[in-house]
Amino acid sequence: MSTELYRLPGRSILTLIGSDARPLLQRVITADVEHLEPGQCRPGALLTPQGKIISDFMLFPREDGLVIDIAEQAAQALKKRLTMYKLKADVEIAIDDSLASLWAETAFDGAAKDPRLDHVFRSIGAPGDTSERALDAIEIAAGVPSFSRDYGEAEVFPTDVNLDVYGGIGWTKGCFIGQEVVSRMKRRGTIRKRSLAVSFENSAPATGSDLKAGESTIGEISSTSGRHAVSRVRLDRLEKSDSPVMADGRVAHIELPEALKPETP
């Protein structure tokens, strides 16, 4: 049975070609790209000096450098910033309109498994005659937030949107922009917010609805698909409450990612 291959809409492909492509990104973005191997992809982000996400993306290796799969509206700004940071480095940075973000629900030749999602495989290539299909419904059901849909520029810390859970922060790789802030949060145990999957018996309430545990507001619905939603939840408030979680009068079920569930003895 052949794999149904789709083109992800609203994406741009940024190529970094040259011997300094990896060293440049290694010192600038959150992800560890030195150990990104063929057959892998990895999320990453560029942060403000204060540790908040300017833009996030998916990274793919290539023989002569790296490829960045990024939201279309953020591509030019990232290209401009990376060009500023490169100084005299041996790297050419360009947006390649001949390439597209491709994905399927089963593995295919040259694909890498999306580390954020079960049963999603991705690659970069010529669009050919592929049809467009968004990942929104799959992401929302899994509690995976998306730039522009669930948050905007300089609104969230990378841990707020689980970038570390998906392997998008290289904690041991050394300095990158904003590293001091996010490392301090981790070291001090002050990561209070996490993006979580929220589900309802029937349809989810409207985007912007408060998520409440008793009298305490613990989050806000940031995106919905059918009975599923995504919300950035204050874990400290959730843990302190014995009340059912509600949104717009509807009982909400919150699912923690496996990596965030308490260890059982």
Give the domain ranges of the chain: 6-134, 192-260
> With a threshold of 0.85, does the pTM exceed it?
yes
Lookup result for tokens 């998906």: 166
Q: pLDDT value at position 176?
A: 98
Lookup result for tokens 């949060």: 185
CA geometry: angle 205, 206, 210, nearest 5 deg: 75
Q: SS3 of 259, please?
A: helix
The CATH number given to 192-260 is: 2.40.30
| pLDDT in 10s for each residue of the chain, 265 residues | 568 999 999 999 999 999 999 999 999 999 999 999 999 999 999 999 999 999 999 999 999 999 999 999 999 999 999 999 999 999 999 999 999 999 999 999 999 999 999 999 999 999 999 999 999 999 999 999 999 999 999 999 999 999 999 999 999 999 999 999 999 999 998 889 999 999 999 999 999 999 999 999 999 999 999 999 999 999 999 999 999 999 999 999 999 888 777 654 4
Dist CA 24 CA 254 (whole Å)? 39
Do 6-134 and 192-260 fold alike per CATH? no
Dist CA 225 CA 223 (whole Å)? 7
CATH among 3.40.50.12140, 3.40.50.1110, 3.30.360.10, 3.30.70.1400 for 6-134: 3.30.70.1400
The DSSP string of 110-168 is: T-EE-TTSTT-EEEEE--TTPEE--SHHHHHHHT---BTTTB-TTS--GGGGTTTTTT-
CA geometry: angle 225, 77, 151, nearest 5 deg: 25
